[in-house]
Amino acid sequence: MRILITGGAGFLGSHLCDYLLARGHEVICMDNLITGSTANIAHLAGHERFLFIKHDVTNYIFVEGHLDAVLHFASPASPIDYLEYPIQTLKVGALGTHKALGLAKDKKARFLLASTSEVYGDPLVHPQREDYWGNVNPIGPRGVYDEAKRFAEAMTMAYHRAHGVDTRIARIFNTYGPRMRLNDGRVVPNFVAQALRGEPLTVFGDGSQTRSFCYVSDLIEGIYRLLESNVTEPVNLGNPDEMSILEFAHKIIALSGSRSPIVFVQPEDARVRDDPKVRRPDITRARTLLGWQPQVSLEEGLRRTIEWFRTRI
C-alpha cells in the first residue's frame, strides 16, 4: 500500500512509519514539526519507500499520485503541548481532520483517525467502553484537546455516512516507549527522567489516580489490525492493566535502580485541572473484532523505555 501518515514525525507516527515500511508498504510522512522531530525519522532518510514532507495539515494537503490509506495522527498529544498550543490543537482536530478526510475522499483511500481516551474526559463509567459518551468539560484548559478529538470523530463519521469514505477510529489510551520526549510532560518521561537523575519523583495529589500503560509496539500492532479490518465503529486500544500513579512511581524507582524519594505536590497547574481520576480501557471490542490484546508486560516495556532514556540523560 501507499500510505500517508500525518504527524508521522511524532512519537506514535514515527513508530508507525517503521512498522509499515517493515511490511513492505510505501510511506509518506507529513509533519509541521510543532511537537514532532526529524530525529524520530532520521534513520529513514534515503529509504527508497519513504518520503518526508514538512507541511501543516490545517492547510490544503496535496499528495501526488494514488494513496491507499490516510492515517491522521497529527496533533499535540500531551497536556504540556496542548496548553502551549491550544489554538493549533483545535485547528488540527477540526481543520486538519477535514483536510485529511477530503484527501482520502479524493484518493478513494481508507482513512484512520488517531483519536484518544480523552474523549471520555474524567469518566463516570469504569472501565471505559466505546459506547460511553464521556464526561468532558468543554471550556476547561484540557477541553481544547478533548473537544478537538470528539469533533474529529464526528467529522470522520460524517464523511463515512455522507460520502462513503472507508473510515476507522482508534481510541488510544496511555502509550509509552522509546522516542517519547523528555519534556513531554506526561507521567512516564517525567518519572523516568527524575529517577535517572536521582531527583524526587513528583506525584500530583495523593497518587491514588489510576492509569493503564500500553507499550508502543503493542499499540502500533493494534492500529495496523484496525486499518486492515472492516470495523468502522470506534475501537479502544490500550492495556487494561490498571495501577495507581503512586504504585507506578515505586515501579519506576525499582526498575531504574534509583534511590529517588517520592514527593507529593498540590499543583495549581492547569495541566491537572479536570485530570481523569481513573483511566482504563475495556478492550473487548479489540479482542473480539481484531483478535488483538497487549503482549508486552509493563516490566519489560519499562525496562526498554528506561534504557532508551538512560542514553539520553
Chain length of the chain? 313
Distances (CA, A) of 266 to 26, 170, 253, 262: 48, 33, 21, 13
Q: At what angle do helices 97-107 and 143-163 cross, to 10 degrees?
A: 20
Distances (CA, A) of 72 to 13, 14, 75, 211, 239: 9, 13, 9, 25, 22
Residues with catalytic roles: 145
How many angstroms separate the CA atoms of 263 and 8, rounded? 36
How many angstroms separate the CA atoms of 92 and 99, rounded? 9
CB of 313 closer than 8 Å to CB of 193: yes
Instruction: Give residues with Cβ within 8 angstroms of 155, minimum separation 6.
Output: 94, 97, 98, 101
